[in-house]
Amino acid sequence: MSQILSQGAEAIIKLDDGLVYKERIVKGYRHPQLDSQMRKSRTNREKKVMQKAIELGINVPNLHEDKEVDKYTIVIDFIDGRRLRDVLLEDVNKTDYLVQVGEWLAKLHSQTIMHGDLTTSNVLVDKNGVAYLIDFGLSFFSTKIEDMAVDIHLLEQAIESTHYKHAKEFFESFLQGYSTFEQYDDVMTRLEEVRLRGRNKH
Residues 6+ apart with CB under 8 A from 109: 148, 151, 181, 183, 187
List, by residue number, the catalytic residues.
Answer: 117
DSSP state at residue 96: H
**56 vs 48: CA distance, rounded Å:** 12
Contact 102, 178 (CB under 8 A): yes
**52 vs 167: CA distance, rounded Å:** 30
The sign of the torsion formed by the CA atoms of 120, 88, 106, 172 equals positive
